[in-house]
């Protein structure tokens, strides 16, 4: 299941592994406000995901429950 792979890579700060789970032409949409139908962020390629996943490095630890 890709969701488990995503969480595994995120918690281990494996940005390249996370990116590999997406197609080269991925359309990645983030909604930070559940009440706003407008995306907070919209990315249009696998390479565009790199800075998003790199943001996880600012945390000492993360845990994803799947």
pTM score, whole prediction: 0.75
Q: Is residue 64 part of a domain?
A: no
Domains in the chain: how many in total? 1
The band of 56, judged by pLDDT with boundaries at 50, 70 and 90, is confident
User: Distance between CA atoms of 40 and 29, rounded to whole angstroms?
Assistant: 8
Tell me, what's the pLDDT at 57? 83
Residue range(s) defining the domain that contains residue 19: 2-32+39-58
Q: Is residue 65 part of a domain?
A: no
Tell me, what's the pLDDT at 41? 93
pLDDT tens digits, 7-43: 888 889 999 999 999 999 999 999 999 999 999 999 9
User: Distance between CA atoms of 35 and 11, rounded to whole angstroms?
Assistant: 28
The band of 1, judged by pLDDT with boundaries at 50, 70 and 90, is low
């Amino acid at each position: 299941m890709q969701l488990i792979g995503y969480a595994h890579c995120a918690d281990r700060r494996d940005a390249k592994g996370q990116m590999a789970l997406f197609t080269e032409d991925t359309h990645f949409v983030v909604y930070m406000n559940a009440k706003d139908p407008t995306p907070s962020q919209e990315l249009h390629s696998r390479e565009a995901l790199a800075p998003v996943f790199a943001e996880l490095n600012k945390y000492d630890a993360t845990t994803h429950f799947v």
